[in-house]
Every structure is written in structure tokens, then in C-alpha cells.
A and B are shown apart, each in its own frame.
Chain A
Amino acid sequence: MNWIDICSVTDIPLRGARIVKTAVGCVAVFRTSDNEVFATSNRCPHKGGPLSEGIVHGKAVTCPLHNWVFSLETGKAQGPDEGQIATFATQIIEDRVLLDASELATGVAAE
């Protein structure tokens, strides 16, 4: 584990997302209504839509291109669609958001 400081929780809009560029592609970091933070691949497996631009509701995000809905916890597509996005571990320590750099370097985020 190699936790690194990414940003403050409040840098991410409430019920919104920001992206983190990594060597293996963009990771979307979401902040839910309850101030939980989740990190997933930014790319929708359907047509490559930027998930960080989607509407965040509950612990889910809706892709802005064709309304696929993904669970931020499991990365699984909800409802009738079938698909999976990579999810990454996050930590919040004293209002700072941390991601595990070693996990981000393994390449699972490339999708």
C-alpha cells in the first residue's frame, strides 16, 4: 500500500466528481451526498463516456452519454445493462482524500 494525498474532500463538488490523471488513464473520484469518496475508472465500458461528468445519486453515477448507471461501491452496471468498471480503494484522513498509488500503477485503471 502506498497511500498518497490527492486533494481535500471539498475540492470535489458534493454529488460530483473530479478526475485524477494516472499513468494508466483517468480515474474519477466521486463525492456522494454523505461525503463518502469513491474512485473508479473514468471510462464507461459502453462507449467510453466520461463517468466523472455524470450525475451522482446515492452511491451510483449515471454516464452522461447513454445513461448507464454504475454502482460506485462495486463498479457493476445497474439495471438491464451489463458491464463493470474498475474501482479503487480510497481513504479520508482529516478531510484529505487518499488513493493507493501502487494499486493505480498496476494498470487495472487503464480501462
Chain B
Amino acid sequence: MTQKLIIIGAGMAAGRALEHLFEEAPDTYDVTLFNAEPRGTYNRIMLSPVLSGDKSFDEIVTHSAEWYEGKGVTTRFGEKVVNIDRSAQTVTSDSGDILAYDKLIIATGSTPFIIPLPGHDLDGVIAYRDLEDTNAMISLGDEPDAKAVVIGGGLLGLEAAAGLALRGVDVTVVHIMGHLMERQLDDAAGYLLRKALVNKGISVKCSANSKEILGEDGKVKALILDDGTELPCNLLVMAVGIRPSVALAAEAGLATGRGIHVDDQMVTSDENILSLGECVEHNGNVFGLVAPIFDQAKVIAKTLIGEEAVFENKEVATKLKVTGCDLFSAGDFAEGEGHEDIVYRDPARGVYKRLVIKNNRIVGVVMYGDTADGNWFFGLIKDREDISEMRDTLIFGPAFQGGSPLDPMAAVAALPADAEICGCNGVCKGQIEDAIGNGATTLDDIKATTKASASCGTCTNLVEQVLAVTLGDDFIVPAAKSVCGCTDLTHEDVRRLIKSKQLKSQPAVWQELGWTTSNGCHVCRPAINYYLLADWPLEYQDDAQSRFVNERNHANIQKDGTYSVVPRMWGGITTPDELRAIANAADKFDIPTVKVTGGQRIDLLGVKKEDLPAIWFDLNQAGLVSGHAYSKGLRTVKTCVGSDHCRFGTQDSTGLGVKLEKHMWGSWTPHKLKLGVSGCPRNCAEATCKDIGVICVDSGYEISVAGAAGMEVKETQFLCKVATEEEAMEVISAMTQIYRENAKYLDRIWKWVDKVGLDWVKEQVVEDLETRQALAERFEISQSVYRTDPWAEHASKKSEIYQPVANLALEAAE
């Protein structure tokens, strides 16, 4: 028979414990979950990003009411438990309901400590604990000239202050100790942190004792310090600490001290009552960090199903990010007998590192500004490693030990498999490597399989580095990436600067934008060449030597060094004369393979490079031109037969396809561009997986964009519907041009639209008729240069470069 389990509190500890319980034994218990907050479980650590506006509340919900319902949990959110009757094994809620339990978990967490200053009960005096507090701070940001005081210069207080400052509030932090975050930082690092906060416009008062809170009409007005200073404020946040919430347990007669006493199995002094999280005390310790609490969640789930498990309190390092300042601290860094310091400072960069050594072992570390090596040092503390051999270079981190070369990845590569990467969820490097071995390739995969970086997110960089070290080139760090090793600028930066600085040649780009190489590399050269010709069609001369081989030779190179030649068939329409010319060329040049392509034309494969100008000349004679099957440019416009022949056709889709192709051929785009025009919604031209697709309907033309049918398969998204062919042509020209002017080189339309959003594109191309027209006009200016057949030009003027410059083989034979 299923037993009844009641849980009081739906915080992170309870959410995690239930998750483990349902994984291990989903049907053992009939669960009822009480929560005083009227909502499910969210990641409390992430309230700071919600306050600063980086995340929405929805994004930090870990277990919603729906999640619990899906697991069969009866939720009583917004309802408090007011009494526990241990002899009857029942709880009483504030609604008066009495429920029986077989097992009870107390997960009441902690209560923020409110200093009982005069005026602490005024309206506008809050703690920083839950969503209500966060919302109160957010709404203060909407008021003009808002002022706030934060009492408490610990992590929570500083995050509150930083978030308020970001919201435009004038903030003062009042801290009773001599420097900020004195439990995690020494005074030097505290000084750097204070300086960084002051630079962000936050006032900081250390060694400051609060005396009294002044009010007006029941609302907070100012804080008075004991030296008489008056700090006016509309909101006063007390972030001076938390206390385990033990009242309910104590009233029920359970053993409590600072917290509710629990044993190694998380059982309280009553065998049917368990407890975990910030409300417990274990071997004299109470808990505030997530990592040990998540360990407790694992143990409590095991205990509930009768399996043996032991909770061990491990030493935890603190790696924090306060308002963009990286901090790391671990171990004991107080001055003490036999403690020796190794200190590194780089004032200009705001970097401070201090190692505390005792008996040739690191016992403590404090880092500020550059915390990349923190986990390595922490590993040395935990393993009690003797550091005397590497003492001289120890402070420079793992990259400098054993003569290994300087490499930003080396620190991560050097970490042992049991090095902890994600402190919140207790995930070590080896587990991440295992997940990668099982097929994880992205940060999201790692989050989904190991939970690493799924809580506070400060280890995200580290997880990405483990991915990069393990996967090598297969992992692309998702953050803004520079174009290549020649520059630190991103593609977007370069595009913007080319326009704003009016850079019109590659040497101008290299010089003005500080390229570190003399003339680029194979990665940046094609990109810069494209950006220049797209932005300055009349001034810039396309550089063949900055093109990939296919675009330089106007044919596709094959693995054996021969080429394929694809003449254009406008809208997929051909004639017997064209087919005869293709057949003759295939015979004459000994073409081994003739293939019909997916783009409704014919591919001649296996052409020798020397023969290219001659075969082009022959094809030109029959009126055939380059199909640009090799280009990051307009490829094909695929059509169906439409109203000319088809009994379902609503418009002349073939005719529109031919017009579009004749209008757009020869244009260069960031990546290849394929169009489709279908004569009716039966969509025989497969227009809805093209970069730009048109579906003809009785009343006009439905234009959609951003489809894909390659490694990704995506349906196009609706852009607009127009009544006439002329409008369709203009919208498609404008769409192509806005993509040409803005996208990163080698982004297909779908990828680019994903980044900028379809709404933005619609505003420019559909809604704002002037912008649409201007875009279409700029496309036409570019086309006045590029709407031409490169085959004809190369066959007549450049055929010699397709030949060897000399043939010594013949001379040798003679």
C-alpha cells in the first residue's frame, strides 16, 4: 500500500529531493506538498538575474505546479502548516485542514534576519528572499529619482544593490564590517570589489552601524547611522543574514539547535520526520550553499525508500560573480601562525590573487578579477598536495607547471577528472566528459544530462571549456566569436565598421581595424571580400584571390580535382536546342557523369580544369550561361508548371520563377540562396523549405522565408501576402538585399533570421514601404554590376589562367 508523504516547503531542496524520489521509486508515496509561497519551485539563486532584468521569472522556475501535478503530487501552494501532531502523525494547515502522514519532511528553509531597529516594521522595509521582495525592488526602478539603502555588504546585499543600480536606482550599501564580503574575501580583494562597485555608481559605507529607520505616513523615509548620517531612501533592503526556520519543528518538540537536528540519513529526532536544506543542523553545521543541500536531497530520497545513504559535509569553495566581478575563495585565508602568503597583483587589470600556504600545502585561496585557476587551487587544497616543487610558479596556475605551454585551455585540460566544475550540483569534470562520450555536444546537452551549470550558471564558461577541450574543433563556443585569429572583432563588428568608417578595400580593413596578420587568412578573406562587394557594389572590385576555389573558377571542384559544370535553366525550363548543346558538350569533353540536379537543371561532372573555358564557350554558343551552382549567391528558382498546364495552378508560377531568376542571377549573398515558386498550396516546387518561397493562391502570392532542407530541415515562416507579381518581386528583392547587407558571412537566411527575429525583418521589408523600396533599389544597383555571365568573360578574356603556366614535362620528353 502506498504511504502518505507530506512535505512542508517547496524550495530548491524539496524540489530536488522529490525529483530523486520519483527517479528512484515513483509509486512508493502519495505526496502532498505545502508551500507558503503561492507558487512552485524556483531557483532562488537566480533572483538576482531577474532583478537585473537578465532573466524572467519563468526562466528560473525549476518545478512548476504542472510539473508536480504530472508526477501525481497534491500541491497546496500558498498554504502554511501551522502545527505538527507527532503522536497522531498529522499536520494542520492554516485553512484548518488536518492531514495524516506516514512520513513527514520539514523543508522550511530559512528566514531572513531583520534587525530590530526602530522603524523596522515600516512599509518599504524588506528582506531579499523571495519573488515578492524582488518585485518590490523592480518596481522601485520605475519611479523617478528613486533611492534605496541596502544594509549588508555580503553576497546577497551586493546583488540587491547591483540589481537596483542597474534599474536606475540611487543605491547606498551600509556594511557593519571593515570590508565587503568579509567571510569570503580578505581586505585587499574586498577593496577591489568596493572600487568596482563605486565605479558602477553604488555608494558603499563600511564600518557603518545603523541606528534607526525614519518613516513618514507609515512609509520608510531614511536610515540614520549611529554617527548621525542620514541616508534618505524610498526602499530599505535588509540583507544581513538568514536563520534556519525551526519554529514549527521546535513547537512539535523535535530536537533543535541553530537548526533542526538531523543524523547522516537526514532523520530528525522523530523517526518518521525527516528534514533537509537551510533549516537543518548536521554535526553542528548549518547550510547556505546549494551543493551540500543537493547532496542532502539525494540522501533523503534514498532514506525514504529504505536504502542506506550517508550525508557527508564536504568542503566547498565559493565562486561568485557579483555585478560582473569574478571572485573566488576557498579554505582558510585569515592571517595566522605559520601562514605564508603568495600574492600576485596586477592593478591595471584589477587582478588580485593570494594563496595561503602552511607546511608546504595550500590552505586557502582568494582571487579577484581572474578566477580561471580557482578550481585547480581548490583541488590542491582538498588533496593536500605538497606544492614545494612548484612554489616558484604556483601563483601563475596550472598552465605554468611542468613547462607546459601557455594556452587558455590548458588550465581546464589540466584539471583531474574528479575536479568539481559545477559547485551547485556537485558535477565533476569526469561526469561531463562521460556525458560528452555519450553524445552530448552542446551546453544544453550537458545541462540536460548532468545538470552542470543548470543552477546559478557561474560555471557556464568552465563547462564550455571542458566541452571545447574534449570535443576540439567540433565545439563552437556560443558567445560572440571573432571572425578568425587575425582579429578580435566579430563579424557583426566588422560589418558595422566597414559601413561607418567607409572602408572600401581589404587593405583598408586590415589597417584600420588592426588585423594582426599582413593580409588575412582563408577564413576572413572570403568574408571581408563579400562584405565589401555587398556594401560598395560600385566602388569595390571583387578579388578572385579571396574566393574559395569554386567561386574563383566558376565551377565546383570535386574530390579528384576535376570540376562540375551546371548551366542555368531559368525556372527549370529548357529547350531541345539547349539539351542538344549539353549533349554535344558532354560528348566532346568526355564527360563521365551527367546528372539531373535537385534544382531542376543538369550537372556535367568530371570536367578537367583546362577544359573549363572551352566547354563554357560551347555552352554560351547555345545561349546557356553559368548556373552559379558553385556560389554563395543565387542558385536556383525551382518552379512547378503552374496555371499554364496544371489543372490546379492558380497563377503562372513558372513565369514568376523565370522572372525572379532573371532578376536575381549573379547576385552574391552571405550564403547560398535558393528560391521556390509553387502554383498552388499543393506546393510541388517545395517552396516551403527554401530560403525564400512563394506559394501562389487565387488572390495573390504568399511569400515565406527562412526555410532549410540541409543539415537542418525547417519550414519557411510566413512573411507577407501580396496581390501582384510586381509586389512579389519587390518584396523578394528587398528581402534578399536586407539579408545581403546585414547577415554574417556563411549564415543562411534561416540562421540570420533566428538571430535578428522575423519581426524586425517584417518591419523593414513588409510594413515600411519606403524602406522596402530603398532596399529593392539598392539590390538593383548591385545587380547592374553583377547580373552578368562570368563564364563568357572567363572564356573570352581569362582562359589562359586555366592552363599551366609552363609545361616542363614536354621538354623533358624531348
Contacts and interface: CB of A to CB of B under 8 A. Distances in A.
A20 interface: yes
Given A62-B521, A64-B557, A23 B808 contact: yes
Contact of A29 (B522, B553, B805): B805
Nearest to B473: A80
B805 A67 contact: no
A58 B557 contact: no
Contacts of B806: 6-7, 20-21
Interface string A46-67: 0111100111111010101101
Interface in B181-230: none
Contact of A64 (B548, B808, B812): B548
B548 A65 contact: no
Interface string A16-51: 101111110010010001000000000000011110
Interface stretch (B433-441, B512-520, B655-663): B512-520
Contacts of A64: 548-549, 557
A73 interface: no
B519 A33 contact: yes
B545 A16 contact: yes
Given A22-B812, A47-B559, A55 B522 contact: yes
Nearest to A109: B808
A54 B559 contact: no
Contacts of A86: none
Nearest to A69: B522
A55 B805 contact: no
A53 B807 contact: no
B805 A57 contact: no
Given A53-B553, A55-B525, A101 B805 contact: no
A16 B544 CA distance: 9
A104 interface: yes
B522 A105 contact: no
Q: Place the interface of chain B in its size category.
A: 20 to 34
B519 A57 contact: yes
Interface in B543-579: 544-549, 552-553, 557, 559, 561
A57 B484 CA distance: 13
Contacts of A11: 805
B520 A21 contact: no
Nearest to B486: A57
A95 to B, nearest CB: 14
Nearest to B522: A62
B805 A22 contact: no
B480 interface: no
With most chain A CB atoms within 10 A of its CB, the pick from B517, B525, B804 is: B804
Interface residues of A, number: 38
Nearest to A25: B809
A14 interface: yes
B47 to A, nearest CB: 44
A65 B805 CA distance: 22
A56 B522 CA distance: 8
Given A23-B809, A53-B557, A58 B804 contact: no
Given A55-B545, A56-B545, A57-B521, A19 B813 contact: no
B583 interface: no
B525 to A, nearest CB: 6
A83 interface: no
B801 interface: yes
B790 to A, nearest CB: 16
Contacts of B561: 48-50
B809 A57 contact: no
Contacts of A99: 808
Contacts of B545: 13-16, 55-56
Contacts of A15: 519, 545-546
Interface of B: 517-522, 525-526, 544-549, 552-553, 557, 559, 561, 801, 804-810, 812-813
Given A50-B561, A53-B553, A55-B525, 17 more contacts: A6-B805, A7-B806, A16-B545, A19-B805, A20-B804, A20-B805, A21-B804, A22-B809, A26-B804, A29-B805, A56-B545, A57-B521, A58-B518, A58-B521, A69-B521, A69-B522, A101-B808
